[in-house]
Structure 1
């Protein structure tokens, strides 16, 4: 079944889209349509109502070019000095271990303190630095986490749920728990962008508790507000703890990432415990699974 996505845009954006897809336009139009463009993996139909329909295997990717274009988000430079929740995830690119999302709240009067103690994007810090810094943040800040264990991740993924929706559900869960626990409302809720804002909320349709007010999806958000950097540090720390627990359970030190060392360890797991061990500690749809199978059978 091919994916369908609908975005609502303004007249100016529709004109921009038509110009962008000039070389892909077709002559025959359905009733009410302003243009139809056919790409190799997607058909785009724009209607007079402002709705634009994306159909095909690349529908999500193509819709992401335009979704949120007219959301009217606050300029990023206004965020750095406000009291905000930052939300970030780790583990999506790691074969072993869960996905961990953390939302952390930094009040404006604590921003300078966070900078002084060395809070910055977790990707710029070693594991040793994170292990040293995270407990202080967890003690000093309000935060909430959403952790998706590997068995549940594999069930969701095998049901056809894209990883972007999985992340949207987890971010909303962590943010919701934190907002409910805070004594005051934040000025902004900033998600390190993995998808456009409108599509983020489309993935949350049907959920009972969706946080919508003052939510922004911003690329490289850890450079926009230090709360996102704090969230990324706590998330990495929790991920490392989860990975250590899984390593103890399976009796092998599970490495981070998805490189050749991961293939070798996964092959050892198959040889030692059988392939049935993998769903409990790995993301099965990664290419590492097939590589490990081949290694284990040599």
Structure 2
């Protein structure tokens, strides 16, 4: 469900909202809610004793415009931007690292300066993809995909397994994939070449560049920060876009090989991995990260 919270709403505005919608007034079990409305257009309005209004459902933007509501906090609780790295910038993140099944996918996403002002309702829903359920990831991607500039790099399982056999280091694989994705976004969008790049840190800066010494072209001047996906809008967008493509790849692999591919690396997943290793020895390498320890 879409939702947006507006704090410190003027009493006169609240009075107008109440008068305009009094026929839709309902009771609430929350004693902190002063007024509770269920509108026929599937919009739910909670007006709290603190003069905070929580909107849930559909047509939130129309309601905000109708009553000229001012969104003081444009950022969700999860997105607290570093003041030295304001938009616009490019965020980088990866998915598939801890899953037995499916590829390794990196994404870099450029978010423009005006993003917060143009889509405050969408901003309130953007956070680290690990904190969003898969159904909402699919919906969020559709809302984000045309509002940011992005590239994904997919290291399919067969190539992943060959690369791991060569390097024996997953951090190196992640570094290579991120570098490939950044090369793509700059090659396809020359106007972005001077953009600040933020990466969710999985190794320190020195190690990252050491992993890329054998690469012909290396994108440098990257800002590394841990848990960046919960601090920067661009990294959170990259996280969501990467997760979307990971889910779609899992779906494709299941259909192509007639298998079920549970996510993660728990004992249930290990049982499935071992089953496929016995039953499908030739194909299992095409949808499984073979270096993972499947011993239960």
Which range, TM-score by smaller chain?
Answer: 0.5 to 0.7
- Residue pair 2:82, 2:232 contacting (<8 A) in 1 also: no
Please report how far the alpha carbon of residue 141 of structure 1 lies from its aligned counterpart in structure 2 after TM superposition.
Answer: 1.4
Q: Does 1:226 align with 2:233?
A: yes
Please report how far the alpha carbon of residue 243 of structure 1 lies from its aligned counterpart in structure 2 after TM superposition.
Answer: 0.7
**Equivalent of 2:209, from 201, 211, 220?**
201
- Residue pair 1:80, 1:224 contacting (<8 A) in 2 also: no
TM-score, normalised via structure 1 length: 0.67
Please report how far the alpha carbon of residue 180 of structure 1 lies from its aligned counterpart in structure 2 after TM superposition.
Answer: 2.3
Q: Deviations over 1:120-143 (max 9, x none)?
A: 110110000001111222222110
Q: Which residue of 2 aligns with 1:85?
A: 90
Please report how far the alpha carbon of residue 79 of structure 1 lies from its aligned counterpart in structure 2 after TM superposition.
Answer: 4.0
**Equivalent of 1:285, from 269, 272, 291?**
291
- Extract structure 1 runs of 4+ deviating beyond 6 A: none
Q: Deviations over 1:55-96 (max 9, x none)?
A: xxxxxxxxxxxxxxxxxxxxx833452210000000010000
Q: Deviations over 1:255-279 (max 9, x none)?
A: 1101122122223323433x23221
Structure 1 alignment gaps of length 5 or more = 1-75, 292-298
Q: Does 1:98 align with 2:103?
A: yes
Q: Does 1:184 align with 2:192?
A: yes
Superposition map of 1:31-180 within 5 A: 77-113=82-118, 116-117=121-122, 118-180=125-187
1:136 aligns to what SS in structure 2? helix
Provide the aligned C-alpha RMSD in A: 1.8
CA distance in 2, matches of 1:186, 1:132: 31
- Residue pair 1:95, 1:257 contacting (<8 A) in 2 also: yes
CA distance in 2, matches of 1:111, 1:186: 21
- Residue pair 2:103, 2:154 contacting (<8 A) in 1 also: yes
Q: Deviations over 1:214-271 (max 9, x none)?
A: x111101123310000000000000001111111122121011011221222233234
Please report how far the alpha carbon of residue 154 of structure 1 lies from its aligned counterpart in structure 2 after TM superposition.
Answer: 0.8
Residues 162/225 of structure 1: CA separation in 2 closer, same or farther (3 Å cut)? same
CA distance in 2, matches of 1:168, 1:264: 30
1:190 aligns to what SS in structure 2? strand
Of stretches 83-92 and 255-264 in structure 1, the one that deviates more from structure 2 is: 255-264
- Residue pair 1:79, 1:188 contacting (<8 A) in 2 also: no
1:269 aligns to what SS in structure 2? helix
Please report how far the alpha carbon of residue 160 of structure 1 lies from its aligned counterpart in structure 2 after TM superposition.
Answer: 3.2
2:268 aligns to what SS in structure 1? helix
